[in-house]
Amino acid sequence: MKELTELTEKELLSRLAEAGGGREAILFFTPLCGTCKVAERMLQVVEASGQAIPLHKLNINYARELRQRWQVASVPCLVVVEAGEVQAREYAMHGVDFLFNLLKEA
């Protein structure tokens, strides 16, 4: 399974500005967080299904602006955005089936 694409905050802000309102999901993580690694593995399974919206990851240590704007309190945190606005903020990943349903394309 391929890893989620890690973006910098600047890259993500630029991508969201260019996306024109598409739905995307961003996993806020820290490198030493074991629970974040488990969440990322579950998201890799969802992404491998080929039915998921675009998924990325962002190191919360380097995302001050988005962390504040989107009110991310802890990691792991999966934020689903559409048109640059937060549609969902999940801290408990529950399982692959939960994530698949949350992230499947409409």
Question: DSSP states of 33-102 as a string?
Answer: -HHHHHHHHHHHHHHHTT-BPPEEEEEGGG-HHHHHHTT--SSSEEEEEETTEEEEEES----HHHHHHH
**Whole-prediction pTM:** 0.93
- What is residue 19's predicted lDDT score, i.e. its pLDDT? 63
- What is residue 44's predicted lDDT score, i.e. its pLDDT? 95
- What is residue 7's predicted lDDT score, i.e. its pLDDT? 96
All residue ranges of the chain with pLDDT < 50 are none
Name all domains of the chain by residue range, CATH numbers in brackets: 5-21+30-103 (3.40.30.10)
- What is residue 52's predicted lDDT score, i.e. its pLDDT? 86
